Amino acid sequence: MDFANSRMGFGWVVRDDAGVIHGVVMRTVEGLFSVREAEAMGAREALSWIKGRGWQHVIVETDAQVVANAVQTGGNYTPFGGLIDEICELLHQFESASLVFISRKFNMPAHVIAKRSLSMVGVEFCELFDSIPRCLAGLVCLNSVLA
């Protein structure tokens, strides 16, 4: 979150079933929300983007355990619950999709990309599939060692 400029950064990393990174997406959104609402918004944004790509068999990994748990249990009628309902609705639109919790140490590339998105000036959305950002170079190797 960028409190000085009242905006949030989201980032996700596209990997194949072998864990190889094929691209990254960065997005900024104006406004500030609670941490759990921001994490839910990030999951919703990623699922919407995946749906737009036409992919049907996906696993979305998040280090936001509260979001993963809420998707599994449902039944929350707060603004956070509304976001969870939207995530569940999106998940049901795929042939095979799940949202699972993983530890932050295994999700560092996405965390770094989300922070990096806040450095984008005048750009709200960026997809990189032809090259992996330099800020991930050490983390790509680190993830293969941690796995």
DSSP letters for 24-54 = EEEEEEES---HHHHHHHHHHHHHHHHHHHT
Burial class of residue 4 in the structure, from the number of CB atoms within 10 Å of its CB (0-12 exposed, 13-18 middle, 19+ buried): exposed
The pTM score is 0.84
| Structural domain contains residue 112 | yes
Domain containing 25 equals 7-146
| Structural domain contains residue 1 | no
| Structural domain contains residue 41 | yes
| Structural domain contains residue 44 | yes
* pLDDT given at position 106: 86
Q: Rounded to whole angstroms, how far apart are CA atoms 26 and 145? A: 25
Q: Which of 9-23, 95-109, 119-133 comes out lowest in average pLDDT? A: 119-133
| Structural domain contains residue 53 | yes
* pLDDT given at position 140: 52
Q: Rounded to whole angstroms, how far apart are CA atoms 80 and 62? A: 16
In degrees, rounded to 5, the angle at the alpha carbon of residue 70 between the alpha carbons of residues 127 and 67 is 30
CATH of the domain at 88: 3.30.420.10
* pLDDT given at position 141: 45
Residue 144 predicted with pLDDT over 80: no
| Structural domain contains residue 2 | no
Q: Rounded to whole angstroms, how far apart are CA atoms 125 and 117? A: 8
| Structural domain contains residue 60 | yes
> How high is the mean pLDDT of the chain?
88
| Structural domain contains residue 90 | yes
* pLDDT given at position 8: 95
Tens digit of each residue's pLDDT (9 = 90 or more) over 60-106: 999 999 999 999 987 676 888 999 999 999 999 999 999 999 998 88
* pLDDT given at position 123: 86
What is the number of domains present in the chain? 1
